[in-house]
Amino acid sequence: MYSRKLLIFSIFFLFFNFEYIQPLPSSSSGTTLNFDFQSLALRNLTLLGDSYLRNGVVGLTKELGVPSSSSGSVIYNNPIAFFDPETNITASFSTRFAFSIQNINPSSSGDGLTFFLSPDNQTLGSPGGYLGLVNSTQLTKNRFIAIEFDTKLDSHFDDPDDNHVGLDIDSLISIKTANPASLGISLKSGNLIFTWIDYKNEENKLYVFLSYSSFKPGVPLLKVDIDLSGYLKDFMYLGFSGSTEGSTELHFIENWSFRTRGFRPVRPRIHPHNVTENSVPLNPPIPVSDPGNRHHRRLGLGFGIAGPAFFCAVLVVFGWISVNKWKENKTEKTLKAELVTGPRQFSYQELKSATKGFHANRVIGHGSFGTVYKAFFVNSGAVFAVKRSKHTHEGKSEFLAELSIIACLRHKNLVQLQGWCVEKGELLLVYEFMANGSLDKVLHQETDNGNPLKWPYRYNIAVGLASVLTYLHQECEQQVIHRDIKTSNIMLDGSYNARLGDFGLARLMDHDKSPLSTLTAGTMGYLAPEYLQYGKATDKTDVFSYGVVILELACGKRPIEKEGSANKMINLIDWVWKLYSEGKLTEAADKRLNGEFRDEEMRKLLLIGLSCANPDSAERPTMRRVFQILNNEAEPISVPRVKPSLTFCNSLPLSIDDIISDDDGGNTPDSQFEIVVD
């Protein structure tokens, strides 16, 4: 019986003991960090300015076929500990990455890129010689340690030539530079250049190695005797920046690894209730056979077989339940971990207190998602907007997975998600507070006081909205279709810059709806005809909604509104297209502007609105093309004088499964109707 007890005890010991040994959190002060990204992903990075991610590669500047001015940066989400207060040690570090600088017109080269360390996770500078690292109007604002890879000779920063690598500290005037041509390397070659940067705190030396090969050279290109301990604060952020000015130069980062060293090694933490190995006898005594106890031996043999079988059955059932519970908790913890670097999880009590118990006088808006409250956090003085929905989310893991995608979106024209809460059967999302409210209120309601939204703001809003939709459609790792673009979902910050809100929320709402209700997700007047017919949203349905918003901006009219005191309803698209066919396009301009606008900009905006609102989805431009037209970087699109009419074929009935399927195979909605020009 002793051996059987030992067997059962050992099984339980082995089953439960494996999950109690855990390493200390790597983010704690005084611990080392090590990451290796063979392919870059949004879950780990923050994109600022014009930077974008495509196929695991980060582009730092605009990818256009014509010269432009651009700056962008990408920053690792987590701050890195470089100083251990317990030991008074500053960490050494090493990083390896591969970059390429390409140009379709080498004669317009400039300006280059940098790898930097900064105490600020919002480091973004001006285009041109400022390398996206320094603000041209506040040269001493940003603090940084940077290695620059400069492709333009700028005498303002004492550059030695147009092909050099340099160490910069809080200034773009390099402490020391070196020309990689000595290694047969041109930064502007377009080739993939492998780079290693090593800082050895114990030697007070920094080394930079460059090679066209993935093998690290034996001799550094740049060697600097410097003590960085005075600049490496407790925590720093890592990233890359790049810029151009009147150039077609492109800057790409393809992979990246980084590690710190010099701190004391992390030791495993042992659970206090662990059973030590010495407490289990390795050689249990073997009972001696006794011929006089044969009957007892038979009984013992029976119990010896039945007992373990019974306990094994209990163990299997208990194990199955435990493993499923463990998997569920692991999934949720993993998803939450992805959100930690971006928005935080608020407690219900925090949000209730900040909104005065969700009091009616804190309501600042309503929508299909729920009610929006102004939240003031007394301790920090921060002001946020809290969206409250009573839609329950029983599939919490699924909700967190979708929320993690939304949390990774970074663009200057998005309302940034700050936090979330799922408690008491409610879903609460915390966003930046937009001082000027929604475009809908500013454009249509507040203008009744005789203070209409000025034309420069309107045009800038059109450009900002085109920029963010280009990002969602073509520059994200996963394409994001908004599905509900309208003026009430476009917020305005303190400078009247457009911030697109409610992105992705329509898809989150679908968990609580039947499949049929998803067919008309959105707002009438902004919905593309093929979406109304088939219920399948694409990037072209977003383009249609954008076109309606643009016409709304230019004309100051709602998508569908009554004509005077009559009950006749006017469709904005039809009304503008009629004026265009009569050669009176600019007469559609908002009368409240009193002619205070540029005719060429007004005409351009109206034509873009019509081209985006074309009933034929195949004729609508991409948002990238729209963005280029607005920035005078591409030719305008030809718009037919007569609005095409849309005829759907009734001979091809579709089932609900066909309508809501996301499968790209077979017949698509675009193949189910024909366009007829009268």
DSSP one-letter string for 480-536: ---S---GGGEEE-TT--EEE-STTHHHHHGGGS-GGGGGG-S-TTSS-HHHHHH--
Residue carrying the six token digits 């073997």: 286
**At a CB cut-off of 8 Å and minimum separation 6, what does 360 contact?**
none
> 10 Å Cβ neighbour count for 356?
14
d(CA 68, CA 50): 12
What are the DSSP E strand ranges found in 493-650? 498-500, 560-562, 569-571, 645-648
SS3 602: helix
What is the rounded (10 degree) CA torsion for 400, 404, 407, 410?
Answer: -160
Highest mean pLDDT pick, 38-42, 417-421, 569-573, 601-605: 601-605
What are the DSSP E strand ranges found in 392-514? 417-423, 426-432, 490-492, 498-500
Closest CA to 499 of 436, 419, 557: 436
Full set of structural domains in the chain with CATH? 2-21+276-281+298-335 (no CATH), 34-261 (2.60.120.200), 344-432 (3.30.200.20), 439-645 (1.10.510.10)
Contact between 198 and 206 under an 8 Å Cβ cutoff? The reply is yes
Q: Which residue has the higher pLDDT, 493 or 380?
A: 493
**At a CB cut-off of 8 Å and minimum separation 6, what does 541 contact?**
481, 483, 527, 528, 530, 531, 617
Counting every residue written for the chain, the total comes to: 678
Extract the tokens encoding 474. 């073509």
Closest CA to 624 of 539, 549, 552: 539
What is the per-residue pLDDT for 391?
56
What is the per-residue pLDDT for 24?
34
Extract the tokens encoding 502. 């409610």
d(CA 13, CA 127): 62
Closest CA to 332 of 340, 322, 341, 321: 340
SS3 123: coil
- pLDDT at residue 385 greater than cutoff 50: yes
d(CA 594, CA 625): 30
d(CA 311, CA 10): 13
d(CA 178, CA 163): 9
Q: Which of 484, 542, 590, 616 is catalytic?
A: 484
Highest mean pLDDT pick, 4-8, 204-208, 490-494, 532-536: 204-208
d(CA 663, CA 43): 26
Residue 521 pLDDT level (bands cut at 50, 70, 90): low
What is the per-residue pLDDT for 572?
93
Helices 539-555 and 572-581: crossing angle in degrees, nearest 10, is 70
d(CA 245, CA 637): 27
For the ranges 178-192, 290-304, 306-320, the lowest mean pLDDT is seen at: 290-304
Contact between 72 and 124 under an 8 Å Cβ cutoff? The reply is yes
Q: Is 484 a catalytic residue?
A: yes
Kindly report, residue by residue over 298-353, the tens digit of the pLDDT.
555 565 666 667 667 777 776 777 666 665 555 445 444 444 445 788 999 999 99
pTM comes to: 0.50
Kindly report, residue by residue over 33-75, the tens digit of the pLDDT.
788 888 888 888 989 888 998 888 999 998 877 788 889 999 9
The one-letter amino acid code at 321 reads I
Burial class (CB in 10 A: 0-12, 13-18, 19+), 239: buried
Average pLDDT over the chain, rounded to an integer: 77
**At a CB cut-off of 8 Å and minimum separation 6, what does 524 contact?**
559, 560
SS3 603: helix
Give the H/E segment covering residue 178. Answer: strand 176-178
What is the per-residue pLDDT for 672?
36
Residue 168, CA distances (Å) to 112, 117, 118, 120, 228 in order = 14, 11, 12, 16, 12
The reply, when asked if residue 387 is annotated as ligand binding, is: yes
Extract the tokens encoding 164. 């050099």
Extract the tokens encoding 281. 């006898």
Kindly report, residue by residue over 606-635, the tens digit of the pLDDT.
999 999 999 999 999 999 999 999 999 888
Give the H/E segment covering residue 673. Answer: strand 673-676
Extract the tokens encoding 150. 């400069």
Q: Give the pairing type, strands 417-423 and 344-345.
A: parallel
Closest CA to 142 of 157, 155, 132: 132
Contact between 151 and 175 under an 8 Å Cβ cutoff? The reply is no
Q: Which residue has the higher pLDDT, 673 or 454?
A: 454
